[in-house]
Structure 1
């Protein structure tokens, strides 16, 4: 039996709608005034809402629109307002049957059924529109995912689509659904890489400042310093534009504030090295917090290896910085141990290709050179070797981090 909620505005000439509805075979769940339309409708949970409103006002139509937004249902309104404007507002508010001066007991059942039929038709049309919109969105996701794979794997558009299709079949997913995952994984991987670069750049800037203060390769140091400043700004801009403000906004805000403090100190021109180092370490900690948040997002299965490779960049720059600042031996030993532990983890990582193995070998050679030069940082020749080795390590681990970032396992969140 169809249930009906009956609401009305005060009208001495109104028929006994409740009795007529029951006689027509409806279950009248309740009756009340239109002034309480939202509350009564949500409370009654009826199949159809019937209103008697000879002169419906804007407040009533607003209440009807609110109900349709929260708990949609068929609406039948009996009224004496014959204006086209009122009818248009009623349709916009979600009325399915607007009956003008046409009440009759014998018409109740077909009118209620008409309201139900129109409501069902509207729902079907909405579902079709939503389905078409979803298909259009999926096509956009597939195109974007293909572009990501084409750039990362150096394959054609057809080959990229076949990669998606094969993986979707293996995972029993739609290609569009998998494509969305590829897009999310690529965004997280890029975010980890860029936030990891911020850790490295904080240490590199202090290293370059120390090299400049010692009058070592002054012109080259100035170029690298400008390049590092630009790189930090570019990374922060990307992170702020591509990461959710609701999820990561506090971390991004802290990273921006920490960087502004470090940049101001650098631009001041004369700052004590310990203060500059403390500001850089604050930037490092803020970037590391963002990396950990991204790594734990669960949007990609293999992002941990990106973090490890990216951290090696920072540790190499930190080691060079500590040697130039003549930091205490314990700190140097700790940094060296952390770097060598990272090398062992990367060597044992299941994500491996000839390119990755060659980069790891090259990185080990540059690390050996850095270790040898660290003890001679008090001499001009030692500082030059230290600077060259640290920049070589930066180049190697930039390439290695990018290789992990673009691996098929990371992009498709696959276990090797």
Structure 2
């Protein structure tokens, strides 16, 4: 696994870097500041990102959020800040694991596994939510198109739905595409 460590203090990153290499991972260590987390992730394409900082600031959290939205991957934060709001904001930004009080090299494998599992579950839930939202949006379009067909063709709901379904099958497109065409035509 390719892992990107972002740390302002090179000495602080050395034990973590060694523990990860001992587990067989490829590790790249970079200081923050010159390049944003997003740009580093875009450039190096790591499997996991580990950020070690005293406390995540607003800019860092925005950068993590953008990275999570555009280039999602597990992000582990090591910080000294135990503030509940900071932890909550970090998790909302897309951090998979927020660890306070440093790292013992013996815990690296477990922390990686937990962060990756949490990330995968979060991605699965995001996918389900998107699918549900898309289905609801499609349902609204289909219902609106049925209403327009019923009004303009003076037919009942079943006939309107059957006509759209038949057109979708004949054209080999999704029912919602036909419904949008109906809305564009009669709406």
**Displacement of 1:168:** 2.0
Decide whether the 8 Å contact of 1:34 with 1:60 is kept in 2. no
Moved over 3 A (4+): 11-15
**Displacement of 1:56:** 2.6
Deviations 1:19-46 (A, max 9, x none): 2211122111x21112222322221111
Decide whether the 8 Å contact of 2:15 with 2:105 is kept in 1. no
Deviations 1:342-365 (A, max 9, x none): xxxxxxxxxxxxxxxxxxxxxxxx
Deviations 1:312-332 (A, max 9, x none): xxxxxxxxxxxxxxxxxxxxx
Q: Give the corresponding residue for 2:74.
A: 74
Q: Give the corresponding residue for 1:85.
A: 85
Q: State how far apart, in whole Å, the 2-side matches of 1:175 and 1:39 are.
A: 40
Q: State how far apart, in whole Å, the 2-side matches of 1:142 and 1:51 are.
A: 46
Decide whether the 8 Å contact of 2:74 with 2:96 is kept in 1. yes
Q: Does 1:112 align with 2:115?
A: no
Q: CA RMSD in A?
A: 1.8
Whichever structure has more helix as a proportion of its residues is 1
Decide whether the 8 Å contact of 2:76 with 2:96 is kept in 1. yes
Gap change, CA 1:151 and 1:83, over 3 Å in 2: same
Gaps of 5+ in 2: none
**Displacement of 1:55:** 2.7
Moved more, 117-126 or 162-171: 162-171
TM-score, normalising length: structure 1: 0.42
Deviations 1:60-106 (A, max 9, x none): 22221222233121101111211111101111221000011151112
Q: How does 1:171-320 map to 2 (within 5 A)?
A: 171-187=171-187
Gaps of 5+ in 1: 188-416
Q: Give the corresponding residue for 2:55.
A: 55
By relative contact order (CA 8 Å, sep 6+), the higher-ranking structure is 2
Whichever structure has more strand as a proportion of its residues is 2
**Displacement of 1:169:** 2.3
